[in-house]
Homo-oligomer: A and B are copies of this chain.
Amino acid sequence: MRIKHPPEETIGRLLAYLRTLLCLQEEGVATVSSQRLAELCQVKSSMVRKDFSYFGEFGTPGVGYNVDEMIRQLRKILKLDKALKAALVGVGNVGRALLLYPGFKEEGLRIVAAFDNDPGKIGQRVNDLVIEDVDALKKRVKQKGIRLGILATPVSEAPNVAERMAKAGLKAILSFAPCQLNMPKGVRVQCVDLAMEMARLVYHL
């Protein structure tokens, strides 16, 4: 293996495995079999082994996987082994929640700058960060070497803001605006549409 690139779904599952392995580590578990890990993540054991196999051979036949080692490997594979800086644009309710969200830290992610265009918000402090004018975005991105962006403005401004973020040099954008954003090639967008997730659930009722 290792020649063929893994399916996108594999990446999602590797993240789930990592989350679970961190729990096991906390409980003091030293090794885990693909079967046990699969149970905990609600997938098939062959799936776990296949997912891992895209990146190498990490297990010991007859024993399983070493928890500490596997965590290290997954962090490396998922590029979560070094801290990453992100810039947030749009400090409304969602933006504020993201600034205060504790979950990012655990994955080595830090929001190091926040922007808005509302003069009433500019200058305010949230969680050790001073909200700046969006006009300062490009400068800060360059200065701090930021590569990740989080877009949390209303839909009406999203396409416009997204373009500015791309022009500022951000290479990947996590968008909370429920709309299509067409970006220049080389800039990746991931959309989190809360109403859509909710609606998906409704469909299955």
Q: Which residues of A contact B (CB under 8 A)?
A: 11-12, 15-16, 19-20, 23, 40-42, 78-80, 84, 86, 93-94, 96-98, 100-104, 106-107, 109, 147-148, 150, 154, 171-174, 178-180, 182, 188, 190, 192-205
Contacts and interface: CB of A to CB of B under 8 A. Distances in A.
A171 B15 contact: no
Contacts of A103: 178, 193-195
A96 B97 CA distance: 8
A194 B167 CA distance: 24
Given A15-B196, A179-B19, A180-B42, A205 B106 contact: no
Given A41-B180, A101-B93, A107 B205 contact: no
A180 B13 CA distance: 12
Contact of A109 (B171, B195, B203): B195
Contacts of A93: 96-97, 100-101
Contacts of A40: 180
A37 to B, nearest CB: 11
A150 to B, nearest CB: 8
Given A40-B180, A109-B195, A188 B204 contact: yes
Contacts of A97: 93-94, 96-97
A199 B15 contact: yes
A205 to B, nearest CB: 6
A199 B96 contact: no
Given A12-B200, A19-B179, A172-B204, 5 more contacts: A11-B200, A78-B203, A148-B201, A148-B205, A192-B192
A197 B192 contact: yes
A180 B171 CA distance: 30
B180 A201 contact: no
